[in-house]
Amino acid sequence: MGVNFHISPGGSLTGRIRVPGDKSISHRSIMLGAIAEGVTKISGFLEGEDALSTMNAFRAMGVVIEGPHHGHVVVHGVGKRGLKAPQTIIDCGNSGTTMRLLSGLLAGQGFAVTLTGDDTLLKRPMARVATPLKLMEAHIDTQESGRPPLIIHPVNQLKAIDYTLPMASAQVKSAILLAGLYADGVTTVVEPEITRDHTEKMLEAFGYKPEVLGNRISVDGSAVLKATTIDVPADISSATFFMVGASIAPGSNITLEKVGINPTRDGVIKILRLMGADIELLNESSVGGEKVADIHVKYAPLQGIHIPEELVSLAIDEFPALFIAAANANGTTILTGAEELRVKESDRIQVMATGLLSIGVKATPTPDGMIIHGGAYHGGVIQSHGDHRIAMSFAMAALTASDDITVIDCQNVATSFPGFDQLAKTAGLKISLS
């Protein structure tokens, strides 16, 4: 049964809130904890459906995992070669991260496994992961046009490669690096632009330091991982909706507690500041190698900008919300170099453009971005196409709309942000569900 958001216009965002744990780090903590030696203890784990898909996948391969219980998880690692063949097909749900990273981690195992997912995931491209893995002599079958399900056949040893990514993608990079842990020799990935480095940082937390030289990252197949303790910071992607909401709604004054501000993920802060947002970082610290801060945001008039392309890969998941900021800015905002947005949970360029146009925003989609002319807009009905970030972005758009906004098909919000509507209501958003 579908879930719809109904949001009345007006209001502001105030108070102190903590958004759920970082999705990227939660995924990787389970994956590396499972193949480490010893018992890994995790706090702040995101109990969203995507991260739970990763947890269930490893349980299916014989890993004992306790929890989650209020964000606490205990993973009893089985070592690099301790995973067992699952008795059933592994269902990755809606999680592209689960499928892509698992494909790399499982490519060098000595057993067969099939990875599938929901209808949305089955439409997402997997050839760009399968192609480099095949160069490593993995045996992976995809369906028509490189779509899932993925069928991974057993091989005893992968071959190390030196691979240049044709398009910046942290998920593809991570899949190759995880496969490299099972390869003979040193595997190197070269990025066209720097992407989020949670995999590299977490490998280091588990006792193995990859070699990083600028945009070249290398791992050695002889690496051994040792169990550790992980405190997952709040997710900057989830915090983004409140950063944008507070920036556009007069009277807003909100603090987002203990948010991860990894330098490969802070593009959204830089972009909003370039637009004139009033964002202050407080209580900066480091937790498990990840930078963390309280993010204090107050309302400020925004200006349209041409978003610097060097920031695009540092904010790739945050653009649906940034498009709402652009719709509220004075002047024109131009995004280029973001073709990756077309192959997310939805075609986020086209879906956002269609939604913005339907409420009266002048938005022109382009092959690799969008042109948005800021100004007043009205309410309406938005089709989210089952994309959690589209749904939450248009919920925040209602703060400055002239009429109600209804967002259809919001059940997948639980993949990354369980309890979004309640937390948003606490902060001042006039939201209800049906």
Q: Tokens representing 85?
A: 């063949």
Q: Are 331 and 362 in contact, with CB atoms under 8 Å apart?
A: no
CB 258 within 8 A of CB 269: no
Distance CA 2, CA 419 (A): 16
The Cα 74–Cα 3 span in angstroms is: 32
CA dihedral 195, 339, 333, 258 (to 10 degrees): -30
184 classed as catalytic: no
What is the C-alpha separation between 277 and 289, in angstroms, rounded? 28
Active-site residue identified among 22, 50, 231, 317: 317
What are the catalytic residues?
317
